[in-house]
Structure 1
């Protein structure tokens, strides 16, 4: 007694499976190509940022240039600015660094053209916050070198900035400027002051101020596009193999039916 021989698929069913696999193949290939393009964009961005970070400092953009700034072209540019700090209006923003938990110290800097610029002077541990905020010994104009950073509106994950209570979880330039009553002419960016000595994690040299500790900007970009591209292309290959199996299996069924 012979076993049951399966029948060939109907043309409608065969067409439906073929169309579904062809669509899946096209979508997976398109997504893989898109990730390859994203990879090229991300590697270009990383290269530009590294170039910006180590370039000779350029004057920080003034009011005439603010409307033309973009994250892709200007973030992490190394800039220099001259002005006078208003230490009485220093503000602490919650931060976690390689030195532990603490705060960024943001201090308004009054430029000679009358505009304000927020400067992240660096990190301070929780137990040193009062001494840094109340320190107003520096007087006169200063030249500050730092990395141009764009505003961080809103707050952090599950923690919203609360200006009324003085709780800041992100460096929201607009909200900070309004809270500090800096007036209408405030740069839409802030700068992370660079370390005056070799490394932010190294002990400060003799005679240098230990806190706030500048130069602790972490420049890190997630770059998983290569893995994503390989995944999508692998799925496309699986869809192609499934289509090939469908064709070969259909040929086998039709041969048996004859």
Structure 2
């Protein structure tokens, strides 16, 4: 039976090599995923920047584009109609470092469409309409807004559930707002939000122009991090293997020159 000390040193590297290989596959896959996300984000940012400076289109044109492609996010749209202040919704938000609410109100157009409009931001203590009565504009209004695609579901688990009965929303739930306003399933319901870009409002509240058109893009940094960890893992394994292979078997006598 061969002595344990005489077994090749490389045999002790098999298990660490397998785990190192698995780790490399995971880290490189994460890096590749971030590279793909980088390309997607850069394309999205370019699209947003192109659209927000384009000429506003009519609501009818925006609806036709939506039906054709389903993608008109950040397209400037001309809107005219009358607000239905009896069905106002409040979405928790921040603007210029201040915590407050974005005010969403249905607007009925002359041709029978209903648009869920984000009229803009109000401070936390102006959630209730009576605290900013001047801004509850009656009668016909006209403005230019940006089309925004509705969210199909809560963005992530960290976002609280909406308190519908308390009219406190943490994410813009289009379907629930439409249902609460009594316009769910209405053939005239415009299937996207419009966010006011600029509008003269008595008393200054709500304050329009809250759409964020600058998106964070850290995917290159994340990709470099994952690839860097992969290289570090290779270096750690190489150092471990070099040390293991140079180690003299226990009990072995050094060679003596004759």
Q: TM-score, normalised by structure 2?
A: 0.74
Q: CA deviation at 1:117?
A: 0.8
- 1:251 CA displacement: 4.7
Cα displacement string for residues 174-209 of structure 1 (whole angstroms, at most 9, x for unaligned residues): 111211212522223211100248xxxxxx9xxx65
Partner residue, 2:32? 33
Q: Partner of 1:129 in structure 2? A: 129
Deviation at 1:86?
A: 2.4
- The CA deviation string for residues 90-125 of structure 1, in whole angstroms up to 9 with x for no partner, is 333333322733332222112344221111111223
Equivalent of residue 114 in structure 2, options 88, 113, 116: 116
Aligned partner of 1:24 in structure 2 is: 23
Q: Which runs of 5+ in 2 are unaligned?
A: none
Q: Which residue of 1 aligns with 2:51?
A: 52
Cα distance, 1:135 vs structure 2: 5.7
Q: Provide the rounded CA distance (Å) in 1 between the counterparts of 2:207 and 2:175.
A: 24
On the 8 A contact 1:25/1:239 being kept in 2, the answer is yes
CA separation of 1:50/1:78 partners in 2, compared to 1, >3 Å: closer, same or farther? same
Count of matched residue pairs: 240
Counterparts of 1:1-258 in structure 2 under 5 Å? 9-60=8-59, 61-62=62-63, 65-66=66-67, 68-69=69-70, 73-98=71-96, 100-125=98-123, 126-127=125-126, 129-132=129-132, 137-140=137-140, 142-152=141-151, 153=153, 159-185=160-186, 186-196=189-199, 210-249=204-243, 251-253=245-247
SS of structure 1 residue aligned to 2:47? helix
User: Using the alignment, how far apart are the partners of 2:12 and 2:245 within structure 1?
Assistant: 15
CA contact (8 A) 2:150 2:192 kept: yes
* 3-state secondary structure, aligned to 1:74: coil
TM-align CA RMSD: 3.4
TM-score (norm 1): 0.74
CA distance in 2, matches of 1:83, 1:34: 45
More deviation, 224-233/248-257:
248-257
SS in 2 for 1:94: strand
Q: Distance in 2 between matches of 1:218 and 1:30?
A: 31
Q: 1:238 to 1:109 in 2, by over 3 A?
A: same
Contiguous gaps of at least 5 residues in structure 1: 1-5, 198-203
